[in-house]
A and B are shown apart, each in its own frame.
Chain A
């Protein structure tokens, strides 16, 4: 197969460009801070202060400190919003402004978001009131429900199109971008907003702690001595646009999305299928839909959680699809620096991948010291490694066996 985009695969009719991106992680708000932090290999993981971690073995996370939300809202009341909505609005503003829609998006623009827990901080407050016998504000229930963030955003931006919330655990953000890609590719819409988010909250922390999935030291994706993940928080939003539409309005084209694949493990509610078959199916579907073969990929942004289970499964999946090329294609996971953003991971990592492509520098996989013979991959160890990245893949895998992969291509148009 060739990489020609004259033909668009997977039955789609239209090419899909990215014309705007917004991001907020523990590295800060905005693409600039995130790109420089990532490329400098900044470990932004700190001790968590937003709740008491003294009873936990792990005490660290990628929380966003000093987050001051000062956006002047037209429709919503800031004091009533969950932190998740504020993170989303921050990322959205950046993405929408970059795409040139600061004065308003077409009202039918669909909004497709991925999240694992929605407004869980509001849920925690609600639960706490109930446990202590106090009357909880019923409005907390609405912020708690995971689809209300999308409803609030649509209200604030005056959107009347679809507002979809996908909750496929840690693959949610990638699934959201995949759906938006498909909607534009199929010719159903010309512009779409897609992304993902999740907040740092004790509920999730305690859950991952109970599953013994959290490291007490460092997140070391693909390292032989890796012993768990670190949770993070944040949001990532992408403006997707039909390519000729973007060209006709002279929009800045950041990259092209050329492929998306997904699958389900049907194996276990929390553990990935150790064979890697499910993940391999998603990856190969992404390549098939892109119309490129495995050797055409110049960089893989791995899911790489740093848990013993995930990383070896992902390595197996990559080996199955990429064969001997799996030892050569540069690969890294940025979770070692910003943590695992769960529903936000796929979107944030897609944005980091696109920024790295455009900068021509590979994101490092920090904390990697001891190679694992079960993960024989070309891990990006050094900082500032320059590379011509024409095509990149971003992987996401989640609880419940959700697998998803995206393929980006920098194309001259």
Chain B
């Protein structure tokens, strides 16, 4: 990948807060959006926590009646896109939509709409099957709705993937910008909490307090790389980034959060022998490393890979936003990218959320207890999914 593409806009709808600055405030203050789940009854279940988005009103961000019946996944995506476009100082009513693209990553998408549609079909027959639910249940509904809302005609794609899919959306967005000679591409991830998905992960023993990976039973909550980690807490939300050609961003004097330096994706990390992820790891500079660890056994895979990659480097600052927002799947990894871009731009490293006892593979990092004002030149985003699929993004601070 070249360094010709930059991030110029950030839109976040997260359990911690809505809006980029509010989210940043949550990172600085370590204010978590994880609370007792209210959307469905968790009595009798082993897990009760979730990163729910409460009090969300699409109209407050993007009043458009066409999307009032859309699933929350779409609504979160629409709101994040609007926030990101505004943040970038762009106006979608004035842009040439054929020069703008969109990639949205989802994991479960509107599984609640699929369930509802199918339940009506099973219980009452074909006549009860709602065309409105069907059209918004499809995996590309968030991208479809977002392209319609913001006149995006260059390309509109949906990537379906696990937790790293949000980073894949960035990598793919760069690809389609080159492919179609686009000036701008929105890259995002969106997810919503659904009771069926919650139950499934709970029964897999993946939710804290899980029983599949627990080392010592502890209280509920995400402990990335923790020696006593016991699973993840499910979350929801969306994050959209405005990616732009460096040249056009400079021409319009846009604020540049970060330059996209490289992207890498791979599967089967669990069985892959010593995967080499980064071509050249800086040795002498301070690096911010946004990790994707979510308190499951897979944290060890990430820790081992990163330990090898950073073996000859200065101790990186280790960030992790999962204790703040929960595991929001495709939306998580791109929110990590947003946080890393803000670290580069603001030259502030938020206090590490990792305060617990660490697994031995991860004791090599730097875990700052309070915020530090440091101009890091490089931020790395790492995300590994439940099946050992991993994606990695390197961002650079824009010089000048």
Contacts and interface: CB of A to CB of B under 8 A. Distances in A.
Contact of A263 (B106, B153, B165): B153
A179 B139 contact: no
A109 B383 CA distance: 21
Nearest to A167: B139
Contacts of B117: 203, 206-207
A159 B268 contact: yes
Q: Which of the four size classes fits the interface of chain A?
A: 35 or more
A166 B180 CA distance: 17
B204 A168 contact: no
Interface string A375-413: 000000000000000000000001111100000000000
A118 B161 CA distance: 11
A186 B177 CA distance: 13
A118 B126 contact: no
B314 interface: no
A167 B148 contact: no
B197 interface: yes
B160 A264 contact: no
Q: Which of the four size classes fits the interface of chain B?
A: 35 or more
Highest count of chain B CB atoms <10 Å: which of A10, A136, A138: A138
A43 B127 CA distance: 29
B118 A165 contact: no
Contacts of A202: 121
A55 B339 CA distance: 51
Contact of A267 (B98, B148, B154): B148
Interface in B142-196: 143-145, 147-148, 150-162, 165, 168, 172, 175-176, 178-180, 196
A11 B137 CA distance: 37
Interface string B114-140: 110111011101110111001111111
Contacts of B275: 160
Highest count of chain A CB atoms <10 Å: which of B145, B176, B180: B180
Nearest to A404: B155
Contacts of A118: 139, 160
B156 A401 contact: yes
A226 interface: no
A402 B134 CA distance: 17
Contact of B131 (A123, A168, A210): A210
A268 B148 contact: yes
Interface string A108-138: 0000000111100001101110110000101
Given A146-B139, A164-B172, A266 B268 contact: no
A126 B118 CA distance: 10
B123 A141 contact: no
13 contacts: A123-B118, A126-B196, A131-B122, A165-B160, A167-B158, A168-B140, A168-B157, A207-B135, A211-B135, A266-B97, A269-B148, A400-B138, A400-B156
Given A162-B267, A399-B138, A399-B140, 6 more contacts: A151-B389, A169-B138, A207-B134, A263-B153, A266-B152, A269-B136
